[in-house]
Structure 1
Amino acid sequence: MSPRWNPNPDVRTGRHVVYNLHVHLVFVTKYRRKAFTNEMLTRCEEIMQEVCADFEADLKQFNGEEDHVHLLVHYPPKVQLSKLVNSLKGVSARLLRKEYDAHVRRYQWGGHFWSGSYFAGSCGGAPLTVVKQYIENQKRPVG
């Protein structure tokens, strides 16, 4: 590697791939019940960091309020987002219910901690207009 090149730590390489994939995830509690305390959010972040590590992903940012959490995850292309999300929600629900049982039972019942839906948005890199323009301006061979 050239000493002039300052590598971007977010750009990773695999055997046949160079990637920089980030996703913004939002999970909402079932019926938007205000089940989270500050202590529970701290524990939820720890749990989600461990789950991400199992997927060879990094939890770059985490925060939340009483009824939802936001995550910024840097993940490899081999990871199926739906499987990562299922694991994040499943493991965190199971452990939070187990560790904060009395508190959670006051707000949640029926076996569900999270809403069945979630938000996933890709993020990072150039804006779509710039990427579209770059692709549009490629020098296509004539003939």
Structure 2
Amino acid sequence: MKARRGAHTVYRLAYHFVWIPRYRRAILTGSLAMRLEELIREICAEREWIIEALTVQPNHVHMFVSCPPRDAPATVMNVVKSLTARELFTAYRTQLRRTHWGGKLWADGYYVGSAGDHVTADLIKRYIDDQDAELEGFDPSS
């Protein structure tokens, strides 16, 4: 994964999301699964979120996506889940009403984990500690 540039930022942020349909029903199959993948790709492209990996399984979705720092993981998930639910309920109303009679496609929760290029929490802590060590003996007035 390459570092990306914004107007005033250089970043390398990626998140692994996993979410499930409400009741963990195995409904993400066939044309519905293909349409869901298309929708996710469209939503991400419109917002400059780069999909590194995406898979739609019958009862869950995995998405590994790189996002600018302005977009919090909670925002990403809210946008993806709400827009896909709206579109899929419009296109597959009869099919989805049989299993999701309450009008909610996705379960409330999700998993998110962050990832970077071989950067671990220990490495970041060590880097920050080393910055403090470099400042020892530094006199800004000289």
- Please report the TM-score for the alignment, with normalisation by the length of structure 1: 0.84
Query: Residue 129 of structure 2 aligns with which residue?
Result: 136
Is 2:84 the counterpart of 1:92? yes
**TM-aligned CA distance change 1:105 to 1:128, over 3 Å:** same
Alpha-carbon deviation of 1:77?
1.2
Query: Which secondary structure state, in structure 2, belongs to the residue aligned with residue 114 of structure 1?
Result: coil
* Percent of aligned pairs sharing the same letter: 33
CA distance in 1 between counterparts of 2:116 and 2:89 reads: 34
Structure 1 runs (4+) deviating above 6 angstroms are none
Alpha-carbon deviation of 1:91?
0.9
Query: Residue 40 of structure 1 aligns with which residue?
Result: 32
Alpha-carbon deviation of 1:27?
1.2
Alpha-carbon deviation of 1:136?
2.2
Which of 1 and 2 has greater Rg?
2
Map Cα deviations across residues 60-103 of structure 1 (whole Å, 9 max, x no partner). 21113211101011111111332221110011111112222222
Letter in 2 for 1:134: Y
Task: Report if aligned partners of 2:97, 2:103 keep a CA contact under 8 Å in 1.
Answer: no
Is 2:110 the counterpart of 1:111? no
- Please report the TM-score for the alignment, with normalisation by the length of structure 2: 0.85
Query: Residue 76 of structure 1 aligns with which residue?
Result: 68
Higher helix share: 2
Query: Residue 52 of structure 1 aligns with which residue?
Result: 44
Query: Residue 14 of structure 2 aligns with which residue?
Result: 22
Q: Which blocks of at least 5 consecutive residues in structure 1 are unaligned?
A: 1-8
Aligned residues: 135
Letter in 2 for 1:25: F
